[in-house]
């Protein structure tokens, strides 16, 4: 099963152990699903994680290395979306998540983002919370 993990879940999973976002990251690391990333998704992870408020995770260099270790795992699919999607006007960055999911033929988008969750699905891709992903998919 293939899934795009939205930035809010990725960051939350790094910050708070014993939470559903952390369980999603554990599943990522232990190859329980195939994570899909794109240049835009990795860029978003990086732009957010280097913010000062996340310095609890270490230096900027250390935080960027964390992302690198996740995306370089051999079961991570790097996808290259060819089509632009413009469905969510309130937060255009959410459209990059949809583009990655569509290009990678994802089964799930795992997010805490209200704009995405309100869609419930995009084409055949289910849009779920971390808790729903853990309970129904893993």
Q: b/e per residue, 76-91, with b = 16+ CB within 10 A?
A: ebebebeeebeebeee
Q: How far apart are alpha carbons 104 and 120 in whole angstroms?
A: 18
CB 81 within 8 A of CB 103: yes
Q: Quick one: pLDDT band at residue 89, thresholds 50, 70, 90?
A: confident
Q: Quick one: pLDDT band at residue 64, thresholds 50, 70, 90?
A: very high
Domain boundaries, the chain: 2-136
Give all strands (DSSP E) within the chain, no chain letters.
2-5, 34-37, 77-78, 108-110, 121-122, 125-128
User: Mapping DSSP to helix (H, G, I), strand (E, B) and coil, where does residue 20 land?
Assistant: helix
Mean pLDDT across the stretch 83-97? Answer: 90
Q: How far apart are alpha carbons 97 and 109 in whole angstroms?
A: 8
Within 10 A of 3 (CB to CB), how many other CB atoms are there? 26
Q: How far apart are alpha carbons 89 and 80 in whole angstroms?
A: 22
pLDDT at position 138 over 80:
no
12-35 pLDDT tens trace:
999 999 999 999 999 999 999 999
For the structural domain made of 2-136, what CATH number should be given?
3.40.50.11490
Q: How far apart are alpha carbons 83 and 28 in whole angstroms?
A: 26
Residues 6+ positions from 41 with CB-CB distance below 8 Å: 4, 7, 96, 97, 100
Mean pLDDT across the stretch 4-18? Answer: 95
Place of tokens 């554990």: 26
């Amino acid at each position: 099963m293939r899934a795009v993990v939205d930035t809010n879940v990725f960051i939350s999973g790094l910050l708070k152990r014993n939470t559903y976002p952390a369980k999603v990251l554990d599943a990522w690391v232990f190859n329980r699903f195939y994570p899909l990333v794109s240049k835009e998704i990795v860029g978003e992870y990086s732009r957010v994680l280097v913010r000062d408020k996340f310095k609890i995770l270490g230096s900027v260099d250390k935080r960027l290395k964390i992302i690198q270790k996740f995306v370089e795992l051999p079961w991570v699919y790097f996808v290259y979306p060819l089509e632009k999607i413009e469905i969510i006007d309130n937060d255009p960055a959410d459209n990059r998540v949809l583009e990655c999911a569509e290009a990678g033929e994802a089964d799930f988008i795992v997010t805490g983002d209200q704009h995405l969750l309100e869609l419930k699905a995009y084409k055949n891709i289910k849009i779920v919370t971390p808790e729903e992903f853990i309970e129904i998919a893993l």
